[in-house]
């Protein structure tokens, strides 16, 4: 945990320790103090503030070659998009409420479960379909069935209208293999099938029946493309 406010850090620690499967391995006042500990690569989940002395939580995580899974805890809602751009699991606003923390913890557990299951999946890309192996079962998935792809660190989630799959390919490598005229990166964590895009509202894109975040880096190109469709 990295939090410069001592009282807020103590309160969050109290909430976290209510979960018997969580252990606080380290608690720090600012990112620089935590660097040696983080670089050991033993942190399963990091709670981190945004606005702190020396450097912000977002700047700190961007500086790490392999940042751990993290949940931001802050008073600044305006940095939420930046946080999710670096694949934060969740973004909690202070004062943290126990019920909101519980949702973040449950979301984290679901993500870890997905990662565990990902070892059962293999993927092979043919001309117009994917062959996805789940254990001993092989599924044939046509590209037109794909709605969007979601990055999960070194994994990718494939979403169709009927099922979700997890592959061991990261999102960039996956997109390198897909037809560029049919799939579009819209966010650090998302790519979509262009023919499934229905429109956008503010900083969100409507894909199928799902609203997905539109990253700042991709916003201009995506909105231009939608107007041309």
Cα torsion 145, 151, 73, 59: sign: negative
Closest CA to 74 of 24, 9, 153: 9
What average pLDDT score do residues 55-64 get?
92
Closest CA to 9 of 48, 50, 54: 48
Measured in residues, the chain has a length of 229
Highest mean pLDDT of the ranges 105-109, 153-157, 198-202: 105-109
Confidence of residue 174 (pLDDT cuts 50, 70, 90): confident
- Whose tokens are 């519980």? That residue is 102
- pLDDT exceeds cutoff 90 at 229: no
Cβ-based burial of 129 (10 A; exposed 0-12, middle 13-18, buried ≥19)? middle
pLDDT digits (tens, 9 = 90+) for 113-123: 776 665 444 45
Structural contact between residues 90 and 72, judged by C-beta atoms closer than 8 angstroms: yes
pLDDT at 11: 94
pLDDT at 121: 46
What average pLDDT score do residues 173-183 get?
85
pLDDT digits (tens, 9 = 90+) for 79-105: 888 887 787 899 999 999 999 999 999
pLDDT at 116: 65
């Amino acid at each position: 945990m990295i939090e410069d406010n001592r009282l807020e850090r103590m309160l969050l620690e109290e909430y976290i320790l209510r979960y018997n499967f969580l252990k606080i391995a380290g608690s720090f006042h600012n990112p620089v103090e935590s660097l040696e500990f983080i670089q050991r690569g033993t942190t399963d989940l990091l709670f981190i503030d945004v606005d702190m002395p020396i450097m912000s939580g977002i700047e700190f995580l961007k500086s790490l070659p392999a940042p751990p899974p993290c949940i931001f805890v802050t008073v600044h809602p305006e940095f939420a998009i930046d946080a999710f751009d670096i694949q934060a699991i969740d973004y909690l606003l202070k004062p943290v409420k126990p019920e909101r923390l519980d949702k973040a913890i449950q979301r984290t557990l679901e993500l870890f479960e997905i990662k565990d299951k990902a070892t059962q999946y293999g993927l092979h890309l043919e001309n117009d379909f994917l062959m996805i192996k789940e254990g001993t079962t092989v599924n044939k998935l046509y590209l037109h069935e794909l709605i969007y792809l979601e990055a999960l660190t070194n994994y990718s989630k494939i979403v169709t209208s009927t099922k979700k799959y997890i592959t061991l390919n990261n999102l960039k490598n996956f997109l390198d293999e897909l037809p560029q005229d049919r799939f579009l990166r819209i966010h650090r964590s998302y790519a979509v099938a262009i023919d499934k895009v229905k429109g956008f509202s503010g900083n969100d894109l409507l894909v199928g029946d799902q609203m997905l975040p539109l990253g700042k880096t991709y916003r201009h190109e995506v909105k231009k493309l939608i107007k041309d469709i």
